[in-house]
Amino acid sequence: MLGCGALARELLALTKAFDHIDVQCLPAILHNHPERITPAVRETVAKSTDYDRIFLAYADCGTGGELAKLASDLNIEMMPGPHCYAFYQGTEDFLSRTSEEFTSFYLTDFLVRQFDAFVWKPLGLDRHPELRNSYFGHYKTLVYQAQIKDPALLEKARDCADRLGLAFEHRVTGYGELASELNRFGHLAD
């Protein structure tokens, strides 16, 4: 299985029952440059010659369909959906809410843990907090999609919303479709 580094903790938790599945993840920071995801996947798959089957634990993640096209060209199975927020919440439910939630900024457990490294510092908000409204002025709500119940993460997510000047919403999504897709793949790979 080749996955997104932002899903590494979840992928390892969900595949520990399947001793026949190896998990390799690409750096999560690729999300800050989605044009680099597809080439990184292509290169990694090309080096993975010891496997009969590869599952791509990525959604589209801003690649504009390029990642799905690559997966199809390489005949590897891939998670459906526009990004992990959708499959954590359930793709149909997520997509049905997009017209109401287009002013929402989403965080997962990973992004709450890595907020400074993936949002605050790369956007320069640590050095120029006055840019906050330029980046987030059109957002209204920070939606924290929690994979696990953790009071410390919940508090940190609330702090992220406060730092961005956004209202806060907490949704316990669990692993959503990530769990069902990995379970299906694990059984198929037996």
Q: Are residues 26 and 66 in the same domain?
A: yes
Q: Are residues 52 and 103 in the same domain?
A: no
116 and 75 both lie in a single domain: no
Inter-residue contact 85 to 104 (CB < 8 Å): no
Q: What integer is the mean pLDDT of 87-106?
A: 91
Residue 187 pLDDT class (50, 70, 90 cuts)? low
Q: What radius of gyration do the chain's Cα atoms show?
A: 17
pLDDT recorded at residue 182: 87
Is 127 found in the same domain as 74? no
Domain that holds residue 15: 2-83+176-188
**pTM over 0.85, yes/no:** yes
pLDDT, residue 133, reads: 95
Q: How far apart are CA 76 and CA 97, in angstroms?
A: 30
CA dihedral 143, 115, 146, 85 (to 10 degrees): 60
For the chain, give the mean pLDDT: 93
**Shared-domain flag, residues 56 and 22:** yes
Same domain, 63 and 122: no
- How confident is the model over 130-154, as pLDDT tens digits? 999 999 999 999 999 999 999 999 9
Domain count, the chain: 2
Model pLDDT for residues 28-87, shown as the tens digit of each residue: 999 889 999 999 999 999 998 888 889 999 999 999 999 999 999 999 999 888 888 898
Cα–Cα distance, 63 to 24 (Å, whole number): 20
Residues 138 and 156 grouped into a single domain: yes
Is 134 in the same domain as 148?
yes
Q: Are residues 162 and 126 in the same domain?
A: yes
Segment 169-183 mean pLDDT? 92
Tokens 């109401």 locate to 100
Q: Identify the band that residue 189 occupies on the pLDDT scale cut at 50, 70 and 90.
A: low
What is the pLDDT at residue 7?
A: 93
Cα 32 to Cα 63, 117, 123: the distances in Å are 11, 11, 10
Is the same domain home to 61 and 127? no
104 shares its domain with 129: yes
pLDDT digits (tens, 9 = 90+) for 54-64: 999 999 999 99
User: Are residue 97 and residue 133 in the same domain, yes or no?
Assistant: yes
DSSP H or E segment with residue 169: strand 167-172
Taking CA 55 as the corner, what is the angle to CA 187 and CA 43, rounded to the nearest 5 degrees? 155
